[in-house]
Amino acid sequence: MKIRLLRSESNELRIEIEGEGHTFCNMLQKVLLEDEAVETAGYDIPHPLMTKSIVYVRTMGSRRPETALQDAAEKLRERSGELRKTLETAFEEHNKLTSGS
């Protein structure tokens, strides 16, 4: 994954993420929009055959969009860890039931 800064202002940020598509960008957008200080967040994939996505964030008040983006990335990391742990537990329980232990 490569990230390139396209635009940075006090309350707006636009970055290009190379190597990510709808799956990652949609999750990132959803988490950004959970932040009450984020006025708008979205993404665009300018060409369907290219793996370059443009992510846009605009914040309200004194909150910097960089901070909102970093917080969103941290929340995604935490949630993926929770998913991994839940899956491991489910697989262990399934293996116990199917192995007869």
Residue spans per domain, the chain:
2-99
**Domain 2-99, classified CATH 3.30.1360.10, yes or no:** yes
**What are the residues whose beta carbons fall under 8 Å from the beta carbon of 16, sequence distance 6 or more?**
3, 4, 6, 52, 53, 54, 55
User: Percent of the chain, pLDDT > 70?
Assistant: 98
Q: In the structure encoding, which two tokens stand for residue 19, read together?
A: 């190597």
Q: Give the pLDDT of residue 50.
A: 83
First to last CA, the chain: 43
Average pLDDT over residues 8-22: 95
> Residue 39 in contact with residue 59, Cβ under 8 Å?
yes
Question: Partners of 14 in the beta sheet?
Answer: 7, 56
Q: At which residue do the structure tokens 């399934």 appear?
A: 94
| CA dist., res. 18 & res. 21, Å (int) | 8
pLDDT confidence of residue 61: 87
Q: What is the mean pLDDT of the chain?
A: 93
pLDDT tens digit sequence for 49-93: 888 999 999 999 889 999 999 999 999 999 999 999 999 999 999
